[in-house]
Structure 1
C-alpha cells in the first residue's frame, strides 16, 4: 500500500453503523428462524417458488452468521485474528448472501410473471426439478466467484488499530477482488433487469383487470408488487451505485484522502441498506409461501384470518391458486 493509505484514516468512526447492523441482525434472525420453522412444517413436495425461497432463506442464514463478527470488528474490540477472519471469511459471506438474494428474487419474479401471463402453461423454469437444478448452479457460480477471496494467501502485516481488508491482500488478491467486484456488478445489472421487467409485465397484466369484479384483490396484488419492487431498489441500487468508485479507491486509483473517506462511509451506509434485505425477506415469505403464511396466521391472527389464507399454489403441476396475490387466474380473466 502507498503512503496515502498509511496516513488516511479511512477505517475509523464505524461505531454508529454498528447499532443499525445490530438491529438488522436481531430482526433478521427472528424472521429467519420463524421462516425455517414454518417451512419445516410443510410435508408435501415443495413447489418451485418454495425451492427458491428456501435457498433465499439459506443465504439469509449465512448473513446472520457474518453480521455479529462484522459488528464486533467495527466496534474495534475484536482481537487481531478475528479481524483477519472477518476480512477473509465473514465479509465474503455478506456478499454471497447479497448476490444469491438478487438471483433468487429474479427467479421468483419470473415465476410470478409466468403464472399471471401464461396461467394455462407450465414452463421448464416452473418445474420443481428444474428449480432444484438451477439453484445448485447458482450456488456453484456465486461460490466460484467468492470463495477464492477466502483462499488466496494474505499479507502478514503489523498489528494496528485501524486496518482495511484490502491491506491484507497481496497483489493477486487485490486483482481478484477487483475482478470479483466487476463480475458482481454484472450479476446485479442483469438480474435487476429481469426483476424489473418481470414485475412490469405482471403489473401490466393486473392493470388490465382493474375493472374486474375482484378489483380489491387486484389492487392488493398491484400494491404488493410495487412494494416488493421498491424494497428491492432501496436495498440494492444505492450500494451498487457506490461500489465501483469505492473499489477504485481501495486500489488507489482514487487516492484523494477526503474522497476515499467519503466513499468508505457511503459504502458502509449503502451496505447497511443492502443487508436490510434480511428484514425484508420474511415479508416476502409471507406473500409467496402458503406454509409460512398459515403459520403466521395460526400464531398471530384470529381463526377467521387463518381461513382466508387457505388456498393452493400452482408451480410445476396442476392449476392452482397464485399464492403471491391470493387470486386465481380465472378470477382475473387471465388468458
Structure 2
C-alpha cells in the first residue's frame, strides 16, 4: 500500500496544556468511579430502574477511564506510532461511546425522576426494571452499531510524522462514515437533550408550585437534584456539540477554510471536549443524589451512627408519605 502525505496545515500543535486537565479528570473520575462500583456491588440486588440506568452510566465511565491514559500519552507526543494508530482506531471511539451513552442514560434518569414526582402512584413501562434492562441493551447495541465501524474500516498507511491527526488515517469510506456518524450522534444529542430539558422543566414547575407546602425541605432537596442534573448536562455536552458540526465539516473537507480557522476550530473542539469528558467527575455526585440505595450504602460505610439512623428514619417517612398519597388517590372517584 502506498504512503500518503498529510496536509500542510498543522492543527495538532500545543496539545500539552490539555493533558494536565485530562490527567486531573482521569484521576478524580477513576477514584470516584471505583468507589461508585464498590458501593453498587454492596447494595441490595433488588434494583430499581434508576439504579439500572446509573449502573449503565458507570459502565460507560469505565470505558472512558480506559481511553484517557492513551489520549494523554498521544497528546503529549510521546506515543509510539502503533499506539497512535490504536488510539485513532479504538480509544478515541471509546470517548464518544461514553459521551453518547451518558447522554442517553441521563435522559432516562431525568424521565424516570419526572415520572416519579409527577405520577408518584403510577408505574409506567419505562419504570419497570425488566424494561429498563431491555432498553439499556438496545442503547448499547445502537451506540456500538454507530461507532464500531469507525474502528474496523481499513485505514491508510501514511508517512510517520509527529503531527499527524486521526482523520489523516481514514480512507474515503472512513471519512464518509465519520461524517455520517457525527450527524447521527448530533441527532441523538438533540433528541435526548429535549427529553432532559422537558422532563426537568416539568419537575421544576411542579416543585415550584409546592414550595409553600409543609414538606418544603424535601421539595428543596428534589429541586437541587434536578438542577444538578440539568447543570452538569449543559456544562458537559452543550459546548462540544456547538463546535462539533463545523469542525467535522472542515475535517472531511466538505467546507474549505484557511489554516488559521482550522486551527481555531480544533482548539475549540479540544477545549469543549474537556467539558465532555468531565462528566466522569460529575457522575459519582449524581449517583449520590439520585440513588437512595447508594446514599444508604455510603452512610453505612462512612457515616456516624446518628447519620445512619437519621437516613433510615427519612426513608421510612418518605415511604409512609408516598403510601398515604397513593391511598388518597385511590379513594378519589
TM norm. shorter chain > 0.5:
yes
Q: How does 1:1-335 map to 2 (within 5 A)?
A: 6-252=7-253, 253-310=255-312, 321=318, 328=322
Contact 2:243 2:269 in 1 (8 A): yes
State how far apart, in whole Å, the 2-side matches of 1:117 and 1:129 are.
Answer: 22
State how far apart, in whole Å, the 2-side matches of 1:43 and 1:101 are.
Answer: 24
Contact 1:119 1:334 in 2 (8 A): no
State how far apart, in whole Å, the 2-side matches of 1:33 and 1:10 are.
Answer: 35
Deviations 1:222-270 (A, max 9, x none): 1221122011101000000000011011112233100000000000000
Cα separation, partners in 2 of 1:311 and 1:75, compared to 1, 3 Å: farther
Cα separation, partners in 2 of 1:107 and 1:329, compared to 1, 3 Å: farther
Secondary structure in 1 matching 2:312 = coil
TM-score (norm 1): 0.92
Query: What are structure 2's unaligned runs of at least 5 residues?
Result: none
State how far apart, in whole Å, the 2-side matches of 1:92 and 1:234 are.
Answer: 21
Cα separation, partners in 2 of 1:21 and 1:282, compared to 1, 3 Å: same
Contact 1:116 1:334 in 2 (8 A): no
State how far apart, in whole Å, the 1-side matches of 2:136 and 2:292 are.
Answer: 21
Contact 2:11 2:266 in 1 (8 A): yes
State how far apart, in whole Å, the 1-side matches of 2:44 and 2:224 are.
Answer: 31
Contact 1:235 1:276 in 2 (8 A): yes
State how far apart, in whole Å, the 2-side matches of 1:308 and 1:201 are.
Answer: 30
Contact 1:209 1:333 in 2 (8 A): no
Contact 2:120 2:322 in 1 (8 A): no
Cα separation, partners in 2 of 1:12 and 1:204, compared to 1, 3 Å: same
State how far apart, in whole Å, the 2-side matches of 1:250 and 1:260 are.
Answer: 8
What RMSD, in angstroms, separates the aligned Cα atoms of the two structures? 2.4
State how far apart, in whole Å, the 2-side matches of 1:221 and 1:254 are.
Answer: 48
Cα separation, partners in 2 of 1:31 and 1:330, compared to 1, 3 Å: farther
Contact 2:30 2:65 in 1 (8 A): yes
- Give the equivalent residue in structure 2 for 1:316: none
State how far apart, in whole Å, the 2-side matches of 1:184 and 1:195 are.
Answer: 16
Cα separation, partners in 2 of 1:72 and 1:330, compared to 1, 3 Å: farther
Deviations 1:99-133 (A, max 9, x none): 00000011111111011111111100000000000
Contact 2:60 2:98 in 1 (8 A): yes
State how far apart, in whole Å, the 1-side matches of 2:328 and 2:151 are.
Answer: 49
Query: What are structure 1's unaligned runs of at least 5 residues?
Result: 314-318
Deviations 1:126-172 (A, max 9, x none): 00000000000000000000000000000011100101100000000
